[in-house]
Amino acid sequence: MGDKTITVLGYTPNLGSLDMLELSTQAFDPFTPWQVDLDFIPNRGPGDSGYLKYKLAIADASQFFSYAKLSNASGITNNGYSLKKEFYSDNTFSPAALLPSWTLTNPPNPVGEDLYNTKILYVKDSWTLAANANGTLNNVGNGFAQSGIGVPGPWAWLGVVAGFGYSRKLRKRLKGSPLA
C-alpha cells in the first residue's frame, strides 16, 4: 500500500483459503495508522494454533517504521489463548531477534514497542488456543507507525537566505552608527 509492501514468507498449514491478510490504514488509531491484519474465516476455536511469517518493507528512502503494536479481536473470556509477535532482522527468523518478542494473553490489552528507525521488518505472529478455551479468535492485528527524515523544503532555505541578508544589513547599520 503506497510505499509499503508485505510479502508472506511462511504460514501454518491450517490457514484456509478464506482467511484474509491485508495491509491497510486505520483511522481510529493515530499512533499506529498502518495495520497488518490476519482475519480468520471462520474464527479459530479451542485447540487451534498456528503462525504467519511475513516481511514488511518501506520503499521510500526517507521513511522508516518507528513503532508497532500487537492487538486482536477475540470472544474468549477465559485465559485460554495467547498471541505472540516476534521481530527479526532477516528472513531466516533466527534467534537473534531485532526486538524482544511480545506475548498477548487475555484480557487482550494492546502492547507496543519502538522500532528504532527500521526500514524492513521480518515478523512472526503465532497463536495458541487451549483445548478448554471458552470462545473464538477472530483476528491477529498489528499496528505500525512510520516516520520520516526531515528534509528542508524550499521555504526553509529561503528563510535562511533572508535571515542571513537581514543580519548583514543590521551589521552594516551598527557599524555606521555613532554609538559603535
| pTM of the entire predicted model | 0.73
Question: What is the predicted pLDDT for the residue at 158?
Answer: 43
Helix, strand, coil content of the chain in percent (nearest 5)? 10, 50, 35
CA 129 vs CA 73, 110, 111, 134: distances in Å? 13, 18, 19, 9
Q: Which three cell numbers stand for residue 5?
A: 509492501
Contact 1, 35 (CB under 8 A): no
**Sheet with 120-129: strands ordered across:** 4-11, 49-58, 120-129, 81-88, 97-105
Contact 35, 75 (CB under 8 A): no
Question: What is the predicted pLDDT for the residue at 151?
Answer: 44
Beta strand extents in 27-136 (DSSP E only): 34-44, 49-58, 63-74, 81-88, 97-105, 111-118, 120-129
DSSP state, residue 59: -
Q: What is the pLDDT along the chain (180 residues), one digit of tens a residue?
A: 578 899 999 999 888 888 998 888 876 677 778 888 888 888 888 899 999 999 999 988 888 888 888 776 666 766 778 888 888 878 888 776 666 666 665 555 666 777 767 888 888 888 888 898 887 888 888 888 888 764 444 444 444 445 545 455 555 665 665 655
